[in-house]
Structure 1
Amino acid sequence: MSAVVGTQARRGRAEEVRRLLPQPLLVAVIVVLLVVVLAPVVYMVLASVNSDLGVASGEIWPRELNLDNYLKVWSTVELGRGLANSVIICGAVAVVCSFVSVSMAYVLVRFAFRGRVTILRGLLGLQSIPGTLMLLPVFVLFASASTLLGIPTIGTRWAVFVTYLTFALPFSTWVMVTYVRGLPRELEEAARIDGASSWRVLTRIIVPLSWPGIVVSAIFAFLLGWNDVLFASVMTNQDTRTAAVALQVFGATQETGALPLYGQMMAASLICAVPVVVLYLVFQRYLVGGLTAGGVK
């Protein structure tokens, strides 16, 4: 029954789109969007299997396939270490941020206390602060902490983890606040009648029902660290640099060369994009539900 209802709903949405745009115009718009999105990706794929001289001369279609770029890049760019650091740091940020944000959202939505509205407004206001303005204060803060505590901070993975977690938590918490508001209170009240504590309500009811929102928060936190170059280039060293910084360093070293290694640069970029694409494909169903949650009251 639910499958039939879902099919009818999809057909209804498709008919609404056709009424808004004529069929030929709709096809033309879709083709243009696909070309705009896929053209750079196709060029990167072709350039990654082409010779450096062919890319430099403007060839789009390679004369012969050169798959050596995907093998050489692991030693030239030190991509393996960068990917490992990115996965460790960003994965930890995603897991911690998602579960901390759902806990904070549960407290902010379900409990009334002084300063609650101020915290919610602060979470929203923090999104307007550009990250570039926080680079110097964050660096000075960690450098001062290293001097006071006598432990290394700059150049360590945990310093980058704390930095990314700080910037990811406000948005993730706001997403979870919107999601938790849409959850039915009757389930929590029934659990309270059965003697469940607040912790049990959170772990047994709120978290299982909030998986779409949790996935959105986790993916946002993961991408924030995965795509970052500014903070990672300052807070890491050669052993702890992320994949994005490794690509930046590799690209900078090619500027002074006679013939840049275009093929390896494109191959490294595609390899770094694979985890993000896989992440979206695996959690696409949760992303749609999490991003649209709270849109209808």
Structure 2
Amino acid sequence: MTVGTTGLPRGRPGRVRGPGARRTDRTVTRLLPGPLRVLVIVVLLAVVLGPVLYMVFASVSSDLSVAEGAFLPTQLDLGNYLRIWSTVDLGRGLANSLLVAGAVATACAFVSLGSAYVLVRHAFRGRLAVLRGLLALQSIPGTLMLLPVFVLFASAAQVFGVPVIGTRWALFVTYLTFALPFSTWVMVTYLRGLPPELDEAARVDGASSWQVLTRIILPLSWPGLVVAGIFALLLGWNDVLFASVMTNPDTRTAAVALQVFGATQEGGAIPVYGQLMAAALVCAAPVVLLYLLFQRYLISGLTSGGIK
């Protein structure tokens, strides 16, 4: 390493870090000693990855070995991943889950963007009441809303003569209703970080409110949209309570298909644990892949702004 004319060492280029960054690093380092940090990380990984590894090993084991309590497979049995498509009817459940949860995620992301834009950029009477109402809706447990929602949909079917219970539209409306308050708050928090000077500059050029929303706000809001959309998708993907009441065998989701399959195995001589674990891993795979694809947006979704 040599020293240049500026008095700084020449070597591999790196980021210049100030005294504050060094102090932060030292504070974090002093928080836990090195061996204790390694121990804590190992314990956390064991707690998180332990159940996942058990599911993976059980999915490639025979039902008898799993029933005996064996953790590691004594003999690989990949046939569980082939048999689940006929025993669990997983294909139809995954298709219904992708259709309903994907539609809810898309609609919720863009509706929450428009709602948040109005709440953040426009001042009107009742604006704070709307924001507080959205926050209050998050405190209501979903189990309390099951019977009212079911009665409402049944009454709507009698009034309009259109079947609602047992259709995918019932799940779509239900999940959209429960996901919109939180997604709107996510977008409100994100849009508050975008400088209003962007809107003013666009309006000076003659842009309307719709053009500002679609040409200025929308391209800058993709990280927040991804966060809101993934939350809505997880709500529809993991739900069992509403899906088990408002669906029939043709429209039930993957979560309900797993629940029904698990219930049919209770009381049997040797439950098919291998197929249950394989089906659970197949249902979890799309969500895991989604997180891996949009990890960058999830991390920066609530911190990035319009000015870099």
Q: TM (normalized to structure 1)?
A: 0.94
Give the structure with higher Rg (CA).
2
Paired residue for 1:117? 128
1:53-112 C-alpha deviation (Å, 9 max, x unpaired)? 000011111111000000000100000000000000000000000000010000001101
Q: Does 1:29 align with 2:29?
A: no
Query: Which residue pairs with 1:91 in the alignment?
Result: 102
Q: Which residue pairs with 1:219 in the alignment?
A: 230
Shift of the alpha carbon at 1:207?
1.0
Q: Give the 3 Å change call, closer, same or farther, for CA 12–5 of structure 1 in structure 2.
A: farther
- 1:169 — aligned with what? 180
- 1:3 Cα deviation from its structure 2 partner: 8.1
Aligned partner (choices 262, 266, 290) of residue 279 of structure 1: 290
Instruction: Read off the aligned partner of 2:215 and give its amino acid letter.
Output: R
Q: Which residue of 2 aligns with 1:244?
A: 255
Deviation at 1:11, TM superposition (A): 8.4
Native 8 Å contact 1:93 1:165 kept in 2: yes
C-alpha displacement of 1:291: 3.9
Aligned pair 1:184/2:195, yes or no? yes
User: Where does structure 2 lack aligned partners over 5 or more consecutive residues?
Assistant: 1-12
Residue 119 of structure 2: aligned partner? 108
Cα deviation, 1:181-239, whole Å, max 9, x if unaligned, reads 11011111100000000000001111111111110000000000111000000010000
| Contact preservation (8 Å) 2:138, 2:182 | yes
What are the ranges of 5 or more consecutive residues in structure 1 without an aligned counterpart?
A: none
| 1:127 alignment counterpart | 138
For 2:156 and 2:304, how far apart are their aligned partners in 1?
40
How big is the shift at 1:12?
7.9
Cα separation, 1, equivalents of 2:152 and 2:22:
55
Q: Which amino acid aligns with 1:189?
A: E
Q: Distance in 1 between matches of 2:16 and 2:100?
A: 42
Aligned residue for 1:82? Answer: 93
Q: CA RMSD in A?
A: 2.0
Q: Name the residue aligned to 2:7.
A: none
Tell me, yes or no, if the aligned pair for 1:43 and 1:60 is still in contact at 8 Å: yes
2:56 match: 45
Give the secondary-structure state (helix, strand or coil) at the position aligned to 2:165.
coil
State the alpha-carbon separation in 1 of the partners of residues 16 and 134 from structure 2: 38
2:190, 2:303 within 8 Å by CA — same for their partners in 1?
no
Letter in 1 for 2:108: C
Q: How much does 1:114 deviate?
A: 1.0
Distance 1:19 1:71, change over 3 A: same
Task: Tell me the SS of whatever aligns to 2:270.
Answer: coil
**Letter of the 2:220 counterpart:** L
For residue 301 of structure 2, give the secondary structure of its aligned residue in structure 1.
Answer: helix
List structure 1 runs of 4+ shifted beyond 6 angstroms.
8-13
**Percent of paired sites with the same residue:** 73
Per the TM alignment, residue 19 of structure 1 is displaced from its structure 2 partner at its CA by 2.8
Structure 1 residues 40 and 101 mapped into 2: Cα distance closer, same or farther (>3 Å)? same
- Greater helix fraction, Structure 1 or Structure 2: 1
1:15: how far off?
5.0
**Alpha carbons of structure 1 residues 68 and 5: separation in structure 2 relative to 1, 3 Å:** farther
1:230-283, Cα deviation, whole Å (9 max, x unpaired): 000001000000000000000000002111000000000000000010011011
Q: Does 1:145 align with 2:156?
A: yes
Which residue is equivalent to 2:211?
A: 200
Note the C-alpha offset of 1:44: 0.5
Confirm or deny: 8 A CA contact 2:93 2:252 kept in the other structure: yes
Per the alignment, residue 210 of structure 1 pairs with: 221
Asked if the contact 1:47/1:266 (under 8 Å) is kept, the reply is: yes
Preserved contact between residue 18 and residue 26 of structure 1 (Cα < 8 Å): no
Pairs aligned (count): 292
Alpha-carbon displacement from aligned partner over 1:27-70 (angstroms, at most 9, x marks no partner)? 11111100000000000100000000000011111111000000
Q: 1:166-188 CA distances to partner (integer Å, 9 max, x unpaired)?
A: 00000000110011011011111
Cα distance in 1 between the residues matched to 2:296 and 2:22: 18
SS at match of 1:62: coil
